[in-house]
Structures are given as C-alpha cells and as structure tokens.
Amino acid sequence: MNEKIPRELILEIFSRIPIRWLFQLSCVCKQWCNLIDDPCLPNMHLAQATTREEALVLIHWFHVKHRKSNLQLMKEHYPSPKAILEFPNRGRYDLENSCHGLLCFVKCGKEEEAFVSNPLKGELLMLPRSIIMSRWPHLDRYGLGFDSSTKRYKIVRVFFRDFDCANQGYQLGAEVYTMGTTSSWREISQVPCYPLYKKGVYANGALHWLVNHEFSPDDLKSMVISFDFRQEEFKSIPHQEFSSKVSKWFELVDLRGYLGMVDFSLGTHIEIWKLKDYEKKEWVREYRIDIKPPHGVPINEYIEVVGLMEDGEILLKHYETLVAYNSKINGLRCIQILSGGLQMDTTQVYVYTGSLVSFSQ
C-alpha cells in the first residue's frame, strides 16, 4: 500500500466497506490486517453501518445427541458447512439480544450461565455468575447494550428476588455488569414495573422488552419496557392502541436499527409497526402480511418474524422453512428449507449485522 496515503484516509475508506469484505481483505497482507485491527475502526465502521451494512443470516443449530450448539452463517441462501462459533458448554442456549454485532446468549434451565460473542471474529466472553440467586431463573432476562457516555458495553440482568406462587406475588431485582472494567455484577436500585417477556431489542441506546402478560394488570397502558444503559433506568414506552394487550400475541423485532412491534392478535394477518420517531414516540404501520394458518393453529405459532433484510424484505420462519415477504409485490418466496437431520432440534434464525467490535480493545 502506498506509504503516502494518510492512515486516517485509509481507515475512512475501510469504514465504508462491508464487514464480510473487510475480513477477506485482512487476509491479503499483514499491513491491511493491522489496519483492520486498528482500535479506531470499529466505531468508525459502526457510524457508517446502521442502514447500509449487509444483513447477515445466522442459523443456530442445537445437536440433540451431543447437547451442543453452534452458529452457521448462511451464504447464498445455504448454511455454510463450517460453524463460525461453537458454544462453550453442553446444553441449550437462547439468544437474549444483539448490539453492535455482539450477541448475548443465556443457557436454558436452572443454571444461570451467559456469554457475549462476536461470532465473525470468533471471540467469546463468559460472564461471571451473579452471587444473587433468582427464585424463578427461567423467567430472568438478560440484555446487552452500549453506554455512549462511557463507551462501554453493559449487560443488565432482571431477576426474581422473591416469588409467591400461590398469590403470584413477586419482587424483582436488577444488576449490571460492565464489560472491561469489573469482574462482578453491580446491583442497581431501579427495577422494571413488571416482569419482562421474550428476548429484547436494542435500539436508540436502550434495550426494549415486552411486559410478561401473566403478571400484567388489565388496565396496562403500555406493553413495552425499556432500559437506558447510560442512565441505568427502566421506562415505559407508549405505543398505539391494539385490539389486544396480551403480550403473548406480540413480538419486538429489530428493523435495521429501529424498534419494531409485530401484532399477531388479528388472526388473519400480521401487522408490523415501526417506532419511526423515538423522541416523539411516533409509531407507523410499515407492513401488513396476509397469513392464513390452519384452523385451530395460533398465527404466532405458525409463523415467526425474524427480521428486516437490507433490500427491504421481511424474513419469516415457517416451521423449518425460511420465507421472504416483499411488500412491493405483496408476495412471499421460499428461501431455504432448514434440515439438520434427526440429530438436530428446532433451529433458531437471526438477522444479524456484523461488526469489528472486539473484547480485547
């Protein structure tokens, strides 16, 4: 590479190149590899990549026989033959959320085990175990996010400090782990108003969950709770009126950096709403997808909204088939049938935006 070209200009050029190309370029020569490993490049690339970066599709396989999981990157509508990430221990893991190309996974079951990974870089960080035990661990929620004031990544854990099964009484607790600065969890005084439901979505510097419908009151005003990683506060996020306020009929989804909300409650079709203006809390309906499940089958068990691709198509998962919805033609097309054989359990699929973020920097 020409020595007369300023390093800052080269980094600016690299910041505009898609992630997958950058990883290929890092193999060209040692000088390019060193430039791509520059600690300034990840943030420069993230600033450019919110809507431009390629949407990657990750396939999360669970091997029943060996009780092991791995991630594969889908290439040209087919899973790559080699896993890009092998999970560290035996057992099944669920994705809690993604943030800036990092994924947060939690082990299913009574053992509270969590890790953060950048699968494209092959990096994995096991989180320390909390000293505070949960009374109902399978309903605990973890979430990963970025604190813009300290430039640090944080993980928040919401757990059941106490639970009365007979009366459904409970007391929640919350704690935060800051990556790169501490080796233990730090309890915070702020807790959400209600238990949280399903995996979260990171958008606008905050993580968002649905309220757990089993614990929510009939006069619930909002089904969405957020956690601000800078202020370390939980807040309620207002949304438009729905025909139902039972959160099991809804999903939160990442719409390329925007918070999306999927309404399954209508029965004959799916509506996807986008929080277009976060400050004004202005929601708009972006998609209506006509789906007719068989009689007696709930629509949210028949189809899953995975995420938004860079070409504007919505990726759906129908049992073990990946389907794309194109709003311009109001049509569906089959992308891939997932089949891991008899040794595989049900697969999970994620739309993922990669990054250069490293734990070592």
Give a yes or no: residue 358 inside a domain: no
| Together in a domain, 324 and 227 | yes
- At residue 222, the pLDDT reads 87
Q: Hey, which residues does 177 pair with through a beta bridge? A: 155
The three-state secondary structure class of 60 is: strand
Contacts 24+ apart (CB under 8 A), 276-282: 278/203, 278/204, 281/237, 281/238, 281/239
Total count of domains within the chain: 2
| Together in a domain, 63 and 16 | no
Identity of the residue numbered 295 = H
Give a yes or no: residue 29 inside a domain: yes
| Together in a domain, 55 and 109 | yes
Give a yes or no: residue 319 inside a domain: yes
Give the integer Cα–Cα distance in Å for 286 and 28.
Answer: 42
Which one, of 236, 226, 91, lies nearest residue 156 by Cα? 226
Domain that holds residue 324: 50-352
- At residue 209, the pLDDT reads 97
Burial pattern 79-106, b for ≥16 Cβ within 10 A else e, equals beeebbbebbeeebbebbbbbbbbbbbb
| Together in a domain, 26 and 80 | no
Give a yes or no: residue 111 inside a domain: yes
One digit per residue, pLDDT tens: the chain, 361 residues?
Answer: 556 778 888 788 787 887 777 877 777 777 777 777 777 777 777 777 655 667 888 988 888 777 788 888 887 555 565 678 888 888 888 999 999 999 999 987 766 789 999 998 888 999 999 999 888 888 899 999 999 999 899 999 999 998 877 666 889 999 999 998 877 899 999 999 999 999 999 999 899 999 998 887 777 888 999 999 999 999 999 998 888 888 889 999 999 889 999 999 888 889 999 999 999 999 999 999 998 777 777 777 788 999 998 888 999 998 888 999 999 888 888 888 776 554 556 688 999 888 888 876 6
| Together in a domain, 26 and 96 | no
Give a yes or no: residue 359 inside a domain: no
| Together in a domain, 114 and 244 | yes
- At residue 79, the pLDDT reads 59
| Together in a domain, 138 and 210 | yes
Which one, of 114, 73, 74, 68, lies nearest residue 95 by Cα? 114
| Together in a domain, 134 and 252 | yes
- At residue 214, the pLDDT reads 83
Give a yes or no: residue 94 inside a domain: yes
| Together in a domain, 230 and 247 | yes
Give a yes or no: residue 357 inside a domain: no
| Together in a domain, 190 and 302 | yes
| Together in a domain, 213 and 104 | yes
- At residue 66, the pLDDT reads 76
Give a yes or no: residue 292 inside a domain: yes
Which of 49, 68, 87 terminates a domain? The answer is: 49
- At residue 247, the pLDDT reads 84
Which of 11, 28, 49 terminates a domain? The answer is: 49
- At residue 285, the pLDDT reads 95
- At residue 74, the pLDDT reads 82
CATH code, 13: 1.20.1280
- At residue 339, the pLDDT reads 67
| Together in a domain, 80 and 39 | no
CATH code, 328: 2.120.10.80
Identity of the residue numbered 3 = E
